[in-house]
Amino acid sequence: MDEERQEVYERIPWETLEKQGGDRQWLVVAVAGAVAVGALAYSFTKSQPAPASVPNPVAAAVTDPPVTMAIAPVTTLQTPLVMAEADLYAIDPERIIDQAKALAEWFAVEYFAVDGSDQSQATLGSLMPSGVPLPEAPAGTQVFVDWVGVQSVTETAPLAYDIEVLVRSLMAQGDGDFVRQPTRVATIGVVIGDDGLPRVARPPAITTPTALSPMTMTLTPLPVTLQEQVESAYGLVVGGEQLEDGRWRVVAMVEGIDGVRRPTIITVP
C-alpha cells in the first residue's frame, strides 16, 4: 500500500506549499532579518574604539572623606581677638600711629578748651574714658586753644602709645581780655581697639616743656649794592649768609599783612 502512495512529480508544487505553510514562511523571513541586524550591530561595535574606563561611582563615594560642617565656624568663633590683632598688624604701622596722633591732638583741644556749651561737653565726654569725670571750670571762664602739635610718640605695649602733645591756649575771665597761657605738654595714652580705631586710655599727664637754648646764626654784612636792592623791595636788612653756590640767604625785617615787621629769610642771587 505504501508503494501505491508514492507519487512522482515532474516539478515541485510550490503553490501547494504556499497555501499550506504561509505562517512558517514569514517566521523564516523574520529570523533571517534578525540575524542580519545582529550581524550589522556586531560589525559596528567592533569598528568603534574602546571606551575609556570610568571610575566606579560607588567606590569614589566610599573613599571620599566625610564632610564635617561644624569645624570652620567653631574655629572662627574661638579666636576673634587674635584675628583682629593679626589684621591690625598687617596694616602699615605708620598709618596706625598717624591715627593715634590725630586722636591725641583732637582730645587735647577738647580737653583744654572751655566755652560752656553742652556740645563741647558732649564731645569731650565721647573721647574721655568712661568713668572719668569731665573738667570743671569756674563760672565765666573761657579757654581758647589756638594751637596743638605732637612732640613725641612712645610705644608702651603692642598697639598702645604715650603721645606728648604741645598745647598753647588763651584764657579770659568774665568780660576780660584773652591772655596767653604758658605752653603745656599733655601726655595722652592712646590704644588701638579690636575694631582698629584709636581710643584715649586715661586722662593726660600735664607738664611744662623742656626749655631750649637757641641756635646761633652768624650773619655778615651784604655787599652794599645787594643790600640796597633787598631793602628797597622787602625792608631793613639785618645781615646774611653767603651760600656755596654764590647766592645770599638774607635776614630782613619784612612787614606782614597785619602790619608787624618780622625777621624773614630772603634768598637772592
In a domain, 144, yes or no: yes
28 pLDDT higher than 90 = no
255 shares a domain with 145: no
In a domain, 216, yes or no: no
Q: What is the pTM of this model?
A: 0.62
In a domain, 169, yes or no: yes
In a domain, 68, yes or no: no
Produce one character per residue of 23-39: b if its CB has 16 or more CB atoms within 10 Å, e if not.
Answer: eeeeeeeeeeeeeeeee
pLDDT digits (tens, 9 = 90+) for 234-267: 999 999 999 999 999 999 999 999 999 999 999 9
pLDDT digits (tens, 9 = 90+) for 125-146: 999 999 999 999 999 999 999 9
Q: CA geometry: angle at 267 spanning 264 and 269, to 5°?
A: 150
Q: How far apart are CA 237 and CA 228, in angstroms?
A: 9
For the chain, what percent of residues have pLDDT higher than 90? Answer: 62
Q: 107, 120 in Cβ contact below 8 A?
A: no
In a domain, 78, yes or no: no
203 shares a domain with 92: yes
In the structure, what pLDDT confidence band is assigned to residue 93 with cuts at 50, 70 and 90?
confident
232 shares a domain with 176: no
In a domain, 6, yes or no: no
Residue owning grid cell 645770599: 248
147 shares a domain with 106: yes
Domain boundary among 207, 234, 260: 207
150 shares a domain with 232: no
Q: 136, 220 in Cβ contact below 8 A?
A: no
For 203, the domain range is 87-207
**Residues near 229 by beta carbon (within 8 Å), at least 6 away in sequence:** 268
252 shares a domain with 192: no
pLDDT digits (tens, 9 = 90+) for 64-91: 555 544 444 444 444 444 445 555 555 6
165 shares a domain with 195: yes
CATH of the domain at 180: 3.10.450.540
Average pLDDT (90-119) is 92
98 shares a domain with 157: yes
Residue owning grid cell 574721655: 128
In a domain, 147, yes or no: yes
Beta bridge partners of 173: 141
Q: How many domains is the chain partitioned into structurally?
A: 2
In a domain, 79, yes or no: no
pLDDT of 47 reads 55
233 shares a domain with 141: no
153 shares a domain with 91: yes
189 shares a domain with 119: yes
Domain boundary among 207, 235, 253: 207
239 shares a domain with 199: no
In terms of C-beta density within 10 A (0-12 exposed, 13-18 middle, 19 or more buried), how is residue 104 classed? buried
